[in-house]
């Protein structure tokens, strides 16, 4: 009788251990946020579904295996328009929108673009662990920003909450959360002779820990299986011994180590990718091969993605740059966007330096800026342009802001004796 009781106790303990192990191994993740936080976040989501292109064909997703994180490579307003209404290319081609389920702005505001049960056209040519066309089995989340620029803490909190909720709905673990750059693959090109990773650089700057996520896969299953070849940079970012985003050069500027491929991925030769040479010349990606040569792009060339408008609008007036639909302060100034030496001239007439800007995406279209300047210095009866700028007063890099709100280089001023009081002068900070 005693032996039987002991046996039953042992079996009971084994059963308990088995049940515990089952729950520990379950794909359902531990909740990273409280119920109150989740409920508050869900109430805050902005419903953008009414703006979805009516031509987008809604197809219900049969299963959900993954959550895919993207960076939009645009500012907020244009991101919302593109993912909802679709892309309009310079060659006249259009898409029908429905390019993601959610958009998260840099201030953390989250937009519901379409009902999560529908298939969103967000992953394109994709593969993970042998499974292809991941748009059909995944939720897409767009983070407003660039793959070479830091995301904000508010974005990380919002995306962490959103992922936490979606994981609970679809019973997904942290390894089911991937970035677009991990799953996208491309056909052979001048850099790769076989199908390969690197087609997209999307969200290579996504730091999982900041979104309350555990580690990603330790390897790329499709590379290991020989289905595709690795992209060296992305492999180092996601699966390297010292996995960290800091390994990535955060820039959209061509250098010896930062090629067109590393910046733009498959869009390197796209008509919508624009190369802005240091001398001011502009070329679209489909012009570089024939007119310049991919190995002859000069250092310090700026690469601009998703430029669907006229290239004429990208031309700058010397040192003066202008924020347009597809051009943001980060596109133009990079990490210098919030420096004291970056000066913004708002459409309303206000002037701010970078330290007065909360984020690069907060600036309105038609804002002008100059990078690497000090000032302003006001012209008055006692201080002429020459007294302020010295021998450089006629230099094109000396910028004059006239009371009429015009910005002119020193070489464009016809008569300095007629400069109005209140004219402001900005000098290169190196002077």
The torsion of the CA quartet 331, 335, 341, 342, rounded to 10 degrees, works out to 20
pLDDT for residue 48: 97
pLDDT digits (tens, 9 = 90+) for 215-271: 999 999 999 999 999 999 899 999 986 555 434 456 889 998 888 988 998 899 999
**What's the pTM?**
0.87
Q: How far apart are CA 198 and CA 263, in angstroms?
A: 10
Would you say 386 and 392 are in contact if contact means Cβ atoms under 8 Å apart? no
Q: Per-block average pLDDT, block size 10, for the chain (431 residues)?
A: 46 46 43 89 97 96 98 95 86 85 98 98 97 98 95 98 97 98 93 91 95 95 97 92 51 88 90 91 92 92 86 79 89 93 96 96 95 95 93 95 95 92 93 55
Q: How far apart are CA 191 and CA 232, in angstroms?
A: 11
CA-to-CA dists, residue 313 to 308, 310, 388, angstroms = 11, 6, 33
DSSP string computed for 8-76: HHHHHHHHHHHHHHHHHH-SSPPPSS-HHHHHHHHHH-EE-GGGS-TTSPP-B-S---EEEEEE-SB-H
pLDDT for residue 152: 97
Mapped onto helix, strand or coil, the DSSP state of residue 346 is coil
Q: How far apart are CA 78 and CA 91, in angstroms?
A: 19
* 8-state DSSP, 341: T
pLDDT digits (tens, 9 = 90+) for 80-118: 999 999 987 766 678 899 999 999 999 999 999 999 999
* 8-state DSSP, 150: P
pLDDT for residue 250: 65
pLDDT for residue 358: 94
* 8-state DSSP, 297: P
CATH number given to 35-247 = 3.40.80.10
pLDDT for residue 430: 76
Helix-helix angle 153-170:35-44, to 10 degrees = 100
Q: What is Dmax (Cα atoms) for the chain?
A: 114
DSSP string computed for 117-132: TBPPS-S-SBEETTEE
pLDDT for residue 324: 86
274-276 β-sheet, strand order: 282-284, 274-276, 302-304
């Amino acid at each position: 009788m005693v032996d039987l009781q002991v046996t039953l106790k042992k079996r009971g303990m084994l059963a308990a251990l088995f049940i515990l192990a089952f729950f520990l191994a379950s794909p359902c993740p531990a909740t990273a946020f409280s119920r109150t936080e989740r409920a508050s976040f869900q109430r805050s989501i902005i419903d953008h579904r009414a703006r979805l292109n009516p031509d987008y064909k809604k197809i219900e997703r049969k299963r959900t295996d993954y959550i895919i994180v993207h960076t939009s490579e645009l500012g907020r307003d244009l991101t919302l328009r593109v993912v909802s209404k679709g892309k309009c290319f310079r060659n006249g081609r259009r898409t029908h929108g429905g390019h993601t389920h959610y958009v998260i702005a840099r201030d953390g505001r989250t937009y519901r673009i379409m009902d999560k049960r529908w298939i969103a056209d967000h992953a394109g040519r994709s593969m993970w662990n042998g499974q292809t066309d991941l748009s059909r089995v995944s939720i897409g989340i767009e983070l407003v920003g660039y793959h070479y620029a830091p995301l904000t803490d508010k974005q990380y909190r919002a995306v962490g909450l959103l992922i936490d909720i979606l994981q609970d709905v679809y019973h997904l673990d942290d390894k089911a959360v991937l970035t677009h750059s991990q799953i996208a693959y491309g056909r052979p090109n001048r850099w790769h002779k076989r199908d390969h990773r690197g087609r997209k650089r999307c969200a290579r700057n996504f730091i999982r820990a900041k979104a309350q996520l555990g580690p990603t896969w330790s390897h790329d299953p499709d590379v290991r299986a020989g289905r595709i070849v690795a992209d060296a940079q992305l492999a180092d970012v996601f699966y390297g011994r010292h996995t960290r985003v800091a390994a990535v050069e955060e820039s959209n500027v061509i250098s010896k180590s930062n090629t067109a491929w590393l910046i733009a991925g498959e869009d390197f030769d796209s008509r919508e990718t624009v190369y802005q040479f240091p001398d001011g010349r502009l070329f679209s990606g489909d012009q570089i091969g024939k007119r310049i040569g991919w190995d002859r792009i000069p250092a310090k060339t700026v690469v601009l993605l998703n430029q669907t408008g006229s290239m004429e609008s990208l031309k700058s007036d010397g040192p003066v740059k202008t924020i347009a639909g597809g051009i943001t302060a980060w596109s133009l100034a990079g990490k210098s966007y919030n420096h004291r030496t970056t000066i913004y001239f708002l459409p309303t007439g206000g002037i701010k330096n970078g330290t007065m800007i909360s984020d690069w995406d907060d600036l309105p279209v038609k804002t002008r800026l100059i990078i690497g300047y000090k000032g302003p210095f006001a012209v008055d009866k006692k201080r002429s342009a020459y007294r302020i700028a010295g021998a450089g007063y006629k230099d094109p890099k000396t910028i004059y802001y006239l009371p009429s709100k015009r910005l002119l280089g020193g070489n464009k001023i016809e008569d300095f004796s007629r400069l109005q009081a209140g004219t402001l002068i900005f000098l290169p900070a190196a002077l």
